[in-house]
Amino acid sequence: MLSSGTAAIHLALRQLGVGEGDVVFCSSLTFVASANPILYQGARPVFIDAEPATWNMSPAALARAMRDAGERGELPKAVIVVNLYGQNARMDALMEICRGYGVPVIEDAAESLGSEYQGRKSGTFGDFGVFSFNGNKIITTSGGGALVSNDTEALDRARFLATQAREPALHYEHSEVGYNYRMSNIVAGAGRGQLEVLDERVEQRRAVFERYYEALSGLAGVAFMPELEGSKSNRWLTALTVDPEQAGVSHLDIIGALGAENIEARPVWKPMHMQPLFEGVEYYSHEEGWSVSDELFRCGLCLPSGSSMTEGELDRVIGVVEEMLR
């Protein structure tokens, strides 16, 4: 248990030996916390586009990126696959590609705790899995995260680094750089208590999504984030796209109308390859000339999705959106 999901990604990269000048592939359509730890290690990110079926890392784009990297003799030291808004990436295809090149996978399941893919829990496919218990997550310890793996030696090593890399000596002995990445016992207790109601929280979020879907999916230009067959999303956030040509309004118009009613909504994540921080970084689109991440950012938004939303609150949000779209 750690202080954040970001800390978990950072420690996973350290366990995989990522260092100065190394290459790490990472989903582009994500929050910056997925990519920042690459920079902590002095490594170089390469961003991979999403696919339409999951909004997550495109196997087609990853395969092209791996092929090109192999031909250059510069395979990545790791691939960070993000499960966006509770939806699992196509992990079987992505893992097959990475295994074929001998590249380890860090599965960023910060947004997908409790989700399932082909009968397995999200976060259990990669060499390392990462969870977040930040204040906005499906269960929260206010701030916190976790790193999981079947490699118990690597986890022991991560725990050592997370506690300031203190050597087992009577005095305070340190021979390498460590971090204050520990989760406090009080916070951990709060998290353990909430884990007991995780399944209930997932069903509550899915019910929120279904209410929005029933009310809005038939409106012109509206398309909801899909759920891949054989998977179960926790629907951490209800995300949808609005085609302005069909709907007559843009996603920003809807966000503005909701804001005028003191209802917070936001665009989907701005892709990492579009961020000023990563200007000039190499990027592989889903197909040549077709960037799915760019399209989703141009027309995607997230509606209020809290587990405790009442029918009245949902009706209020739906009413504003319906008025804009009708």
Which residues form the domain of 300? 199-325
| Judgement on whether residues 211 and 298 belong to the same structural domain of the protein | yes
pLDDT band at 130 (very low <50, low <70, confident <90, very high): very high
**Which of 177, 195, 213 is the C-terminal boundary of a domain?**
195
Q: Identify the band that residue 326 occupies on the pLDDT scale cut at 50, 70 and 90.
A: confident
The predicted model gives 237-243 an average pLDDT of 98
If asked whether residues 183 and 247 sit together in one domain, one would say no
**Final residue belonging to a domain, choices 195, 218, 245:** 195
Q: What's the rounded mean pLDDT across residues 37-48?
A: 98
CA distance to 73, 87, 264, 272, 293, per residue, from 251 (Å): 43, 21, 13, 20, 15
Is the same domain home to 297 and 269? yes
Residues 150 and 263 in one domain: no
Are residues 191 and 217 both part of a single domain?
A: no
pLDDT-derived band at 181 (thresholds 50, 70, 90) equals very high
AA letter at 166: R
* Total structural domains within the chain: 2
Check which CATH number belongs to the domain holding 26 and give it: 3.40.640.10
Domain boundary among 167, 195, 223: 195
pLDDT at 85 exceeding the cut of 90: yes
Crossing angle of helices 152-162 and 5-15, in 10° steps, is: 120
- Does pLDDT of 100 surpass 90? yes
> Do residues 92 and 104 both lie within one domain?
yes
What amino acid occupies position 173? E
Question: How large is the average pLDDT for residues 268-282?
Answer: 98
Residue 134: pLDDT band by 50, 70, 90 thresholds? very high
Looking at the fold, whether 178 and 203 belong to one and the same domain comes out as: no
Percent of the chain at pLDDT above 90? 98
Residues 120 and 20 in one domain: yes
Q: Which residues form the catalytic set?
A: 137
Neighbour-count burial of 152, counting CB atoms closer than 10 A to its CB (0-12 exposed, 13-18 middle, 19+ buried): exposed
